[in-house]
Structure 1
Amino acid sequence: MITQPLVSVICLCYNHERFLADALDSVLTQTYPNIEIIVVDDCSTDGSITIINAYLAKYPQIRFISTGKNIGNCAAFNTGLNASSGDFIIDFATDDVLLPERITQQVEAFKKVDESYGVVYSDAEYITDTSEHLYFHSQKYKPAPDGDVFAEVLRRYFICPPTMLIRRAVFEDLGGYDAMLAYEDFDFWIRSARKYKYHYLDKITTQRRVHDKSLSRGLYKAGDKMLASTVIVCRKAADLVQNEMEKKALAQRLKYEARHAYLTGNFKEAADLLAILETISGLPVSYRLISSLNKRKVNLSFLRKLYHLLRY
């Protein structure tokens, strides 16, 4: 009998009391036979630990790690990664849900590609905090590229993060997540896609929950720590681009991020992003105007609010 490769599911919990049981049940009911389950709690202040302890008593195969103090998502994941031994890794936030065939389907997809592929990602269903359907990822973010995706991850958002199954070798090569950042996705995509190909599996494998405390809900608010991390990642990306196509892709991203930073009153981050843009491609006339307004801290946040009101 051929042993299937070990898949480590690193379940990251921080105040996920309302969703934790659904999340853990979705891992325990996977059809894939060779799974390592590691629950990392980043010092939750709600009832999450009580639920975790109940699962540990019932399912002794679950391993548990407490960070002892709140260290943030990236460092908490690295703690779980260092304790894991799987050939493949899933970074699983315990407010999301894995569909039963998820791991089976993605491991099979990996078997169809060569070692140059480091990540398999897929479609996902977005759900509310009460598990009601919102939309599918593929309805909003398409097309989904396959192969060398470096320029595309520079240019735009298209990967649903919780759908990724990742070769352990990729994390070992990168040294895990950058623990200094407030979020991991963009940095991981940039650094991994520079060296490894991505394969898209056209299946819905995951339910991603959208709720008031989702990490992404804090994006582009005044004083946004995630935006400061975006600046750091864009600097890394500027060092990694190798040709004009990639420079244009990064310039497109920088324009987008700089606009939103300026229109949300994050003037320092807007200045930093515009400085990177100037180095990469120079500032177009419209962005010279934004730069001038940004230096004077002219508040035009109403324009962004008006745009979202009209569009949504």
Structure 2
Amino acid sequence: AVKSALAQTYEDMEIIISDDCSTDGSYQRILSTCKLYPNVRRLVLRRNSENLGIVEHLNRLVRLASGRLIVVGAGDDVAMPDKTRRLVQEWKRSGALVFGCNPKVIDAEGIPIGRFYSGNIPESFDCMAMIRRRNAGLFLCAFDRKVFDVFGPLDAEQDLEDQVIPFRASLLRENGIQVINEPLVYYRAHHDSIVASLRFSHNSKPLEVLRRKISGYVLLYRSWLHDLNKIMSVNPDKFLNEKKSLSKRLTIMESIEKVVMGDSISSRLHAWRAGVSSKSVPGYYALPLLALVLFPEFTATMASSFHWFLYLRRPERGV
């Protein structure tokens, strides 16, 4: 990841390589690698004094960066040499605020195993598409800092920054999200990655994994709704349908969260009855939720294995 950042063909940029207080010698390896690139200009090397986590670390780096377009790169991914050049080119051409791509997927050893998304993906989409389909097919590569200037830092409680940032762009500008259907990145997919440990841990019990995913989406929807309300405070008549749809989804997910977070069958059953009677849980969710109340481990295992429960586990298409 560090070598690919230092080997970009686009030169007029500031490169910030930041270590989030790692304990495995990563920062020392970063320093050693950077010494091999003495001609790189405007290089900033830094290390946090404490581990901040993905979102708060990103908040700090946005404040530190001096550029307008912020190109992001994860510590275990590899950028193509012309990644930054293509992103700057599209930023100047389209006027969009957030940019994604369709990476090639590699395993832990760097061997290609497919594409992140099979086939073509939409070149752009709006906030309603995100509400209905969550990330709507975006692998986040870069964003204009305006999404932070207007809305402020990201909520550090949630770890879905790659879905909050595009949603903000869709609120600020029509066609604010631009997707470059090119493999600008090698995306490393393996069980020991940070994303896997946060979202798709294979070591946890199925019910705990399901609880974590549901709680993650509750936090995501709340963050989306907070940003939506900020825009509507200035223009109350804008995004009325989007707010109605998002509020409904948040209410449903909060009701489901009460069911899965219950410590006993009686508490889960009480939450299920309350959700069904208030109609915050639609009829087509009632039976799966009742199964979760009565047979929590079995139902959670089915949910994680076959993706049939509320689409809570995003399928890695094309992998």
State the TM-score bracket (shorter-chain normalisation).
0.7 to 0.9
Q: Aligned in 2, Cα 1:102/1:298: closer, same or farther, shift over 3 Å?
A: closer
Q: Which of 193, 197, 214 does residue 214 from structure 1 map onto?
A: 193
In structure 2, distance between residues paired with 1:41 and 1:71? 10
One-letter code of the match for 1:304? A
Match of 1:204, SS? coil
Q: Aligned in 2, Cα 1:296/1:129: closer, same or farther, shift over 3 Å?
A: same
Q: CA deviation at 1:133?
A: 1.1
199-208 or 291-300, which deviates more: 291-300
In structure 2, distance between residues paired with 1:235 and 1:207? 31
Match of 1:120, SS? strand
Equivalent residue runs for 1:1-312 within 5 Å: 23-59=1-37, 61=41, 62-114=43-95, 117-139=96-118, 143-146=121-124, 148-156=125-133, 157-162=135-140, 164-196=141-173, 197-218=176-197, 219=199, 222=208, 225=212, 227-238=214-225, 240=228, 242-244=239-241, 247-248=244-245, 282-294=280-292, 298-299=296-297, 300-304=299-303, 307=306
Match of 2:117, SS? helix
101-110 or 184-193, which deviates more: 184-193
Name the residue aligned to 2:236.
Answer: none
Q: Aligned in 2, Cα 1:225/1:37: closer, same or farther, shift over 3 Å?
A: farther
Residue pair 1:248, 1:281 contacting (<8 A) in 2 also: no
Q: Aligned in 2, Cα 1:297/1:124: closer, same or farther, shift over 3 Å?
A: same
Residue pair 2:218, 2:250 contacting (<8 A) in 1 also: no
Q: CA deviation at 1:274?
A: 8.9
Q: Aligned in 2, Cα 1:91/1:226: closer, same or farther, shift over 3 Å?
A: farther
Residue pair 1:154, 1:253 contacting (<8 A) in 2 also: no
- TM-score, normalised by the number of residues in structure 1: 0.74
236-245 or 284-293, which deviates more: 236-245
Percent identical across equivalent pairs?
21
CA shift digits 1:21-47 (9 cap, x unpaired): xx1111111111212111111111112
Residue pair 1:32, 1:103 contacting (<8 A) in 2 also: yes
Residue pair 1:125, 1:207 contacting (<8 A) in 2 also: yes
Match of 1:126, SS? strand
Q: Aligned in 2, Cα 1:227/1:65: closer, same or farther, shift over 3 Å?
A: farther
248-257 or 202-211, which deviates more: 248-257
Count of residues in Structure 1 that have an aligned counterpart in Structure 2: 278
In structure 2, distance between residues paired with 1:88 and 1:215? 25
Name the residue aligned to 1:9.
Answer: none
In structure 1, distance between residues paired with 2:294 and 2:165? 34
In structure 1, distance between residues paired with 2:97 and 2:82? 20
One-letter code of the match for 1:143? I
Match of 2:70, SS? strand
Q: Aligned in 2, Cα 1:125/1:98: closer, same or farther, shift over 3 Å?
A: same
One-letter code of the match for 1:79? R
In structure 1, distance between residues paired with 2:254 and 2:73? 27
- RMSD of aligned Cα (Å): 3.8
In structure 1, distance between residues paired with 2:262 and 2:169? 30
Higher strand content, 1 or 2: 1
CA shift digits 1:245-298 (9 cap, x unpaired): 664577679879988x799x5558x99x999x98x9843212233444555674
In structure 1, distance between residues paired with 2:137 and 2:157? 22
One-letter code of the match for 2:284? S
- TM-score, normalised by the number of residues in structure 2: 0.72
